[in-house]
Amino acid sequence: MDNADKVIVFGSTTGIEASVSRKPVILLGCCLYRHLDVAYIAHNEQELINLINDFNLEPKSALGAYKLAYFFMNDEYEKLTYITGHKKVKVKLFGKEITLTKTRIKNNWFSKYVILIYEIMGKLAWIRSNHSYPSKEQIIE
């Protein structure tokens, strides 16, 4: 990360680490810090290519990263523990087949239903957006 000019993430904590390291972060997925203004969000292929090719891209403020770090390190907030079953489930919605992952937050009986609803909504929004991530060859061009 120290040698990177920009860091591209899909939602991992690497994005937060890069923000604190004062690197421009390009986010391609959903995550806890999506709305904390620590990363540039590429909504489509062209936006991603433009962000990658922008040699003057400045890092965003790391304030949101520090807020998230405070949340995780402070004992006054209950910690979220994610448990992911590696079993994938395929379902058909509106004529499209999508794959869902069994995920839930520990100690919350309703969390598996909330997560499932969010996952379905996100996948449907992605399908309807007609966006696709660029291939490696398109980025290199």
Question: pLDDT tens, position by position, for the chain (141 residues)?
Answer: 888 999 999 888 889 889 999 999 999 887 878 888 999 999 888 999 999 999 999 999 999 888 888 777 776 666 555 555 555 667 776 677 766 665 554 555 555 566 666 666 666 666 666 655 555 555 554
Q: For residue 54, count other CB atoms closer than 10 A to its CB.
A: 13
Biggest CA pair distance of the chain: 49
Quote the Cα angle for 120-124-41, to 5°. Answer: 100
